[in-house]
Structure formats: structure tokens, C-alpha cells
Chains A and B, each alone.
Chain A
Amino acid sequence: MRYQLSYKQFGERSILIEWPALIDEKLLHDVLYFKQKIEKHYRDSTVHITHAYSSILVNYEYLNFKFKAESEVLHSIYLTKSSRTKMTRTLWRIPVCYDQTFGADLQELSQEKKFTIQELIDRHVNVVYTVYFIGFLPGFLYLGGLDKSLFMPRKGTPRMEIEKGAVAIGGEQTGIYPLRSPGGWYIIGNSPVNFFDVSKEQPCFAKPGDKLLFVPVSLKQYHNIKTLVDAGVYQLESEVFRD
């Protein structure tokens, strides 16, 4: 499927390519496919490409590029059929401890939603999430798939500090804070896994298009895993899959 795309000049050296503003997996695959083709085309030059749910930003290292000419080049790349490099996609099983030691907002959220805490956790766990992109903080995964019954507007006043690993719900999204940071989301648990490792060539294990499952673990299991993670020997459970 081809989408109606728009090309906008964004500052002096960038082009913003926009799809219809949707969070949709088919659309994500079109974005990733186009991104792959642009990367191939500009392989040897200095162009930086980032994407989000329904947009790609192409940032040229040279100033005063010709917007019209460059966007025509980009659109012709979009229209070319090139054999798609097979992307292996991975399903990651992420251990999360939903104990109230970590889930500082479980109580409040359960009262707000009129679910028991267990029901709330079940609704968070019984979904396969899709990784759309990484943004906001180094290693912060933008996930799609949160159960509609868990949508919750952000807090009026954000917390000054949210712990590393905090699993939280904000608006129509859920996510894991990869680093300690301020934030306005509702915290429901914590994952002992590292989502960003500065020492690695690929600092994030997950990539756009991957899938993610939250697996509830007890406080004791959490600490066991944490010990292994800190020692650098923890093996995250995962499986490679094809569409």
C-alpha cells in the first residue's frame, strides 16, 4: 500500500516527510521500508535520518540544499520498488515487578479506573506491544498497543524524579524509563533490565518493528534478575519471528 505523503522543509537543512497522523503497524512498516531505502541511497553521504510514528526527518549535513530537488529525489525513492532487505524481528519478554514497592501509582490508578490492582496488571500484561521508535530519552521505546481501558491523562504536576526502569502509563501510551528522569506518567512497576547501554555499538537491544511482552515477576525474582543484570550476565528471553 502507498500512502499520500507530504514533504515540508524544516529549517535550513532538513526535510520532514509526513504520513497520515496514525499509530498503525502497517504504516510503521511503510515508514521503516522508506527509511531503509533512503539510507541505502545516501549510504556514502552525510545525511541523518530519524523517524517517529508517522514521519521521517532527513537532516542534511550541508546547508542550502535545494528543497524542491531533494524532495523530488526522496519521492522517487519512495516510489521505487527495491527488494526489501529482510529484517529479522524479535519478540522480547521483559520482566516487570508490579509490586507496590515500585508501583507507586497502582493504588491511585486502580481507584481512578475502578479495577482491582490485579485486573489492572492483567490488562497491562495481556498485550503484545509493538516498538515504533526510540525517542524522548536515550533508550526510551515508544510502544503501541496499550489496552484502551488503561488510557490515562498525564499527571497535572510531573514528578521531579522517576526511577530508572519505571514502567508507566501516560495518555494513550505505556513505556519504561531507561534512565532516572522527571516525568508525568503513572508508575505501575519496574523492570530490572537495561534499556540503554552506552558501551555497546547498538546501545538498545530492541529496534523499531520488534514486539514486546511484559512478564510479571515477584520482588524476589526481580532482585535475582537485577543481580544478574548488574553482573552483565543476564540473558533476556526473546524469539525471532517472521510476519
Chain B
Amino acid sequence: MLTPGSISWKVRCSVIKVLNPGFYSTIQDFGRYNYLQYGVPISGVMDWYAASMANALLGNPKEAPVLEMTMVGPVLQFFEQTEICITGADMEARLNGLPLGINKAIAITQGDVLNFGKSIRGFRGYLAVFGGFKTEHVMDSYSMYQGITTNSVISKGSELPFAQKDGVTDKKYAVLRVHKAYINKERIEVFEGPEFNLLSKNQQEKLFSKPHIISNNNNRMAYQLEEPLENSIKAIITSPVLPGTVQLTPKGQLIILMRDCQTTGGYPRVLQLKENAIDILSQKFTGNRIKFKRINI
């Protein structure tokens, strides 16, 4: 994450040591928009809702960088007192071996070890720290992405800097009710995509009438769906795509683009997910069922 002397920061920083990185953990903020024209993906947290709640519960700016954890969370050690908040998937967090609640601010003291297990609900958990992570900032964003940031995931032994919290504050943060039901929702709300009208009536019906299963090809870039949709529409001239764009390949594969998706694509864009539907999908994993629900713009 950090090589000594490589970064100078305005605030005093402390670090969290990564004892075990978990399955796939990255630092993410709310994305990198200013380099789209150079083909740089937007990136950012997959589940905007969970990440922004983690920040809100600590009184951080809504878009402060957080740690996104996937399926199996990391083991982390703290060296200074601070406050943290865990949201999103329930990965059975423990502090010094004792079970820990999620969706609330938690005080941390020197030497504390925080460890996560395998998710029992949802797929992506978020860890926010008071003041936000202060890892490498590249092209106006903290979001890790291969070829843009030095590291594309956190690794064992690395140190994650964050703004140090001085003294004990009695600050009372707003009491927020954090919704959890969305994590298990199957209904994915979608708008018609730019090429929706190229689909036959039969294809359109099939898209909405049958549930779809998430294939094992799912990651921060895209989620592929198991069942192909019989297809005769061809590729289009390469055109911009967005996170949440549902593409239909010539072979009938449905691909839902996610936050790390490429900036342009050549497959027909048949649907576009509503933004909070991307949050719901981010909590899904291989074998989960979803159902598209058409809504009007």
C-alpha cells in the first residue's frame, strides 16, 4: 500500500496492519470520473448504500474511502485508538475474538485485532474508519484498479494509512436506521436500454418473466447470468456503456456490467439497472437468483 516516504499527507496518519487480506479486499471511494475519456473505468464501491452508511455512522464525508471486502473478510490490527463501522454483508466480525455488531460505530483501542469470517448474509462488506483511509490517491480517486494504483488489492503485511483521531471525542453521531432487507432482495429494477427495441417481443417477455441465476463468472467488472437468451441481434458499433448496463452477446449471454467495467462496448445494451439495483446485485454471488422488473423512466 505504502512505501515509506512515497506519500506526504496533510493529516497525521496511523496505519492498520493487514494480517490476512481475506478473499478479495480493496480500498474504494465513489469512483474516478475524470479519466473516462482515456478509457479508465469509473470503479468505486460496488454497494454505494452500504459504504455511504458506514461513513455516515462515523460522521465521515459520505464518499470517504472505505475497505470493500468480498465473501471472506480480512484480519486487521490497529495501533492507535479510533472508531470504525462495518456495513453491508455480515461476515461475522470479531474484535479480539468477541462477536461484534455491524451497522454501528465501534471504538477501537491500541493493539485491537479485528477479524472477519465468511459472509453469512450478502457478499460484500464495508469497513469505514474515522476520517477515512488515506492510501495512494491516483487520478483523483483512492479506488484500487490494476494498472492505475500500485496495488490492485490489499495484501498480507501491508499497511493501510488512515487519518489519526486525536483524543476521545464525545461527539454523538446521528442515529441512523440502516436497511438490511435489500441484501436478500431478488427484484432488480431496470430501465429499457438503448437497444431494447431491437429485441423481439418474445425475447422481451423472456427477459422479464423468468428468473435469472448468477453464474460463477461474477466480479467487480461484470456479472454473467447462467441462462442464455436465444438471440439473433448482432453486435453494434462500439458505443459508451455504464455500470449497470445489461449487454446481450451474439451467443445470447447476458452480462451485467459493474463498477470496474470498461468504458465502451460493442454488444447491444438491452437493459440499464436502476442505481440502487446495482447495490442489490453487488450483494449477490454464484447461484443466487434475480428477477428483472421493468420500470419506466
Contact = CB atoms under 8 A, between A and B. Distances in A.
A9 B297 contact: yes
B297 A52 contact: no
A11 B272 contact: yes
A7 B297 CA distance: 14
A135 B191 CA distance: 24
B297 A23 contact: no
Given A12-B297, A57-B240, A134-B39, 6 more contacts: A23-B237, A57-B242, A134-B37, A138-B41, A198-B138, A203-B40
B35 A203 contact: yes
A21 B272 CA distance: 21
Contacts, number: 106
Contact of A16 (B33, B240, B244): B240
B139 interface: yes
A48 B41 CA distance: 13
B237 A50 contact: no
For the residues of A in contact with B, the DSSP-based class is loop
Given A11-B242, A11-B275, A198 B148 contact: yes
B262 A136 contact: yes
14 contacts: A11-B244, A12-B191, A16-B239, A18-B239, A21-B236, A50-B37, A51-B37, A52-B264, A54-B237, A136-B39, A137-B39, A138-B38, A138-B39, A198-B148
A133 interface: yes
A10 interface: yes
A140 B34 CA distance: 17
Contacts of B245: 11
Pick the 8 closest A-B CB pairs, nearest first.
Answer: A135-B264, A57-B240, A11-B272, A21-B237, A134-B39, A55-B239, A138-B40, A52-B239
Contacts of A52: 237-240, 264
Contact of A198 (B34, B139, B274): B139
Contacts of B240: 16, 50-52, 55-57, 135
A12 B240 CA distance: 15
B252 interface: no
Interface residues of B, number: 34
B268 to A, nearest CB: 12
B242 A135 contact: no
A22 B239 CA distance: 11
A179 interface: yes
Interface string B178-219: 000000000000010110000000000000000000000000
A59 interface: yes
Given A53-B237, A142-B238, A198-B147, A10 B39 contact: no
Interface in B119-173: 138-139, 146-148
Contacts of B238: 52-53, 135, 142
Nearest to A16: B194
Contacts of A49: 37
A139 interface: yes
Nearest to B278: A11
A124 B198 CA distance: 35
A203 B36 CA distance: 11
Contacts of A23: 237
A104 B17 CA distance: 44
Nearest to A35: B37
Contacts of A115: none
Contacts of A12: 191, 274-275, 297
A67 B263 contact: no
A151 to B, nearest CB: 14
A132 B134 CA distance: 37
Contacts of B239: 16, 18, 52-55, 57
Interface string B17-61: 000000000000000011111111100000000000000000000
Contacts of A59: 33, 242
Contacts of A55: 239-240
A47 to B, nearest CB: 10
A77 interface: no
Nearest to A173: B238
A14 interface: yes
Contacts of B274: 11-12
A136 B263 contact: yes
Interface in B215-270: 236-240, 242, 244-245, 262-264, 269
Nearest to A142: B238
Contacts of A179: 146-147
Interface string A1-45: 000000011111110101001110000000000000000000000
B194 A133 contact: no
A203 B38 CA distance: 7
Given A10-B242, A52-B237, A135-B264, A204 B38 contact: yes
